[in-house]
Amino acid sequence: MTADSDADSTTAPAALITGGRRGIGRAIAERFVEEGWRVALNDLEDTGLNDTVAEMAAGGATVSSHPGDIAEQGAAERLVHAVIDRHGRLDVLVNNAAVIRFAPLVDTDPADFEEALQVNLLGAFSCTRAAARHWIAEGRQGSVIMVSSVSAHQARPGHAAYGAAKAGLEMLVKVAAIELGPHGIRVNAVAPGGPILTEFVEPRAKRPGFEARVRATVPLGRMGEPGEVARVVFFLASEQASYVNGTTVTVDGGVSVGRP
Report the 3 state secondary structure along 36-48. CCEEEEECCCHHH
23-34 and 226-237 helices cross at what angle (nearest 10)? 50
CA atoms within 13 A on the CB side of 23: 18
Contact 249, 190 (CB under 8 A): yes
Q: Give yes or no: 162 in active site.
A: yes
DSSP-derived secondary structure for 147-175: E--GGGTS--TTBHHHHHHHHHHHHHHHH
| CA dist., res. 174 & res. 67, Å (int) | 28
Name 17's bridge partners. 41, 94
Q: Strands 142-147 and 92-95, how do they pair?
A: parallel
From 162, 174, 206, 243, the catalytic residue: 162
CA atoms within 13 A on the CB side of 76: 24
From 166, 174, 206, 243, the catalytic residue: 166
Q: Cα-Cα-Cα-Cα dihedral of 10, 231, 67, 196, to 10°?
A: 180
CA atoms within 13 A on the CB side of 105: 6
Q: Give yes or no: 166 in active site.
A: yes
Name 188's bridge partners. 145
- What are the percentages of helix, strand and coil residues in the chain, rounded to 5? 50, 15, 35
**Would you please indicate which residues are annotated as catalytic (active-site) residues?**
162, 166
